[in-house]
């Protein structure tokens, strides 16, 4: 009973702090931030990074890093475009999710069985996926398919209210898997200590493959949302696909700071709203996009990090 009361108090305080922050943003922007048109844009923009961040949260929970996620999103978005234009919504959803899941699953097979550090292997995989995307865009056989925008009739998942419905469904799935399943428990156990988990009977390799499937599903849906919103995915080369996970990465890092008080799965959509609201406010205030906005984001993250580490004594990994 005491824990439930404490959790409720924390949730109420958290919601009040978030509401206060949004009101402050609105005051600073002269009432433009909470204007219906602007806030609708803010909400619609948090769906892609939230799904990507949920996928990354499962990776981080077991102690792995995957820098090829951006490249996976590009190829999954290409698949959604091609098959969506051919077969409608079934093609948009199934093709994007299958490609995203398959590629992340392949990544985790490599991580699990080669023992190569995941950050090294994933950067190599990112280059492979970028090269594949570049080939698809330049090959005479596929160029016309991947450079054609997704038909507007099949882009509803990138628009409210359907994107919000998808966000709610993704939240429910992520919360249940992370907190209420044996797989979720094993994933967190591996992240705590792989050898101890193995000694306690956890099949580490099998669990890692489950991580690949679960994370891949979220990354696949992220690609579906992204292509449904933008309509056309541009090819990435020279590891520029890694920039596609900067915001989701910042969201996960902020959510990890907050997880002492709020479950990380719950924190992710909230942090998505915070991060994108900051970018949106900076845009309203005419702060140049790109480097200066990213510098401001970095400063905010340092502030949040200091706040999150107050009272901590151990060394942060």
- Residue 236 pLDDT: 86
Of 69, 81, 213, 212, nearest to 144 by C-alpha is 81
Residue 233 is assigned to a structural domain of this protein: yes
Number of domains in the chain: 1
- Residue 54 pLDDT: 94
Residue 10 is assigned to a structural domain of this protein: no
Q: Which residues of the chain have pLDDT under 70?
A: 1-11, 290, 297, 300-301, 303-317
- Residue 276 pLDDT: 87
31-70 burial, b at 16+ Cβ within 10 Å, e below that, comes to: ebbeeeebbeebbbbbbbbbbbbbbbbbbbbbbbbbbbbb
Residue 6 is assigned to a structural domain of this protein: no
Residue 78 is assigned to a structural domain of this protein: yes
- Residue 317 pLDDT: 44
Find the domain containing 36 and state its range: 16-308
- Residue 309 pLDDT: 54
**C-alpha angle with apex 28: 299 to 296, nearest 5 degrees?**
15
- Residue 310 pLDDT: 56
Residue 36 is assigned to a structural domain of this protein: yes
- Residue 287 pLDDT: 78
- Residue 316 pLDDT: 44
- Tell me how far apart the alpha carbons of residues 57 and 257 are, in angstroms, rounded to a whole number: 13
Of 115, 105, 226, 218, nearest to 169 by C-alpha is 218
Residue 8 is assigned to a structural domain of this protein: no
- Residue 313 pLDDT: 47
Residue 314 is assigned to a structural domain of this protein: no
- Residue 305 pLDDT: 57
| CB proximity list for 268: less than 8 A, separation 6 or greater | 50, 53, 54, 57, 174, 251, 252, 255
CATH number at residue 51: 1.10.3470
């Amino acid at each position: 009973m005491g824990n439930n009361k404490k959790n409720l108090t924390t949730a109420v305080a958290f919601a009040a702090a978030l509401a206060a922050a949004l009101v402050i943003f609105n005051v600073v922007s002269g009432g433009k931030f909470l204007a219906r048109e602007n806030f609708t844009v803010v909400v619609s923009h948090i769906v892609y990074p939230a799904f990507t961040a949920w996928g990354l949260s499962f990776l981080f929970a077991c102690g792995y890093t995957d820098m090829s996620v951006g490249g996976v999103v590009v190829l999954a978005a290409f698949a959604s475009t091609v098959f969506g234009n051919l077969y409608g919504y079934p093609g948009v959803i199934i093709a994007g999710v299958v490609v995203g899941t398959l590629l992340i699953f392949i990544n985790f097979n490599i991580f699990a069985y080669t023992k190569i550090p995941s950050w090294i292997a994933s950067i190599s995989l990112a280059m492979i996926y970028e090269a594949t995307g570049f080939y698809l865009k330049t090959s005479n056989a596929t160029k016309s398919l991947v450079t054609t925008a997704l038909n507007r009739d099949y882009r509803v998942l990138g628009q409210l209210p359907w994107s919000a419905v998808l966000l709610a469904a993704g939240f429910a799935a992520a919360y249940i898997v992370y907190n209420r399943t044996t797989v979720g428990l094993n994933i967190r156990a591996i992240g705590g200590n792989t050898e101890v988990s193995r000694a306690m009977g956890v099949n580490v390799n099998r669990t890692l493959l489950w991580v690949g499937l679960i994370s891949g599903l979220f990354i696949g849906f992220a690609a579906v949302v992204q292509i449904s919103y933008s309509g056309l995915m541009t090819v990435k080369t020279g590891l520029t696909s890694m920039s596609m996970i900067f915001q989701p990465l910042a969201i996960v890092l902020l959510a990890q700071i907050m997880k002492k008080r709020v479950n990380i799965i719950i924190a992710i959509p909230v942090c998505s709203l915070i991060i994108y609201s900051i970018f949106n406010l900076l845009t309203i205030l005419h702060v140049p996009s790109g480097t200066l906005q990213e510098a401001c984001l970095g400063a905010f993250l340092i502030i949040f990090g200091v706040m999150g580490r107050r009272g901590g004594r151990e060394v942060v990994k």
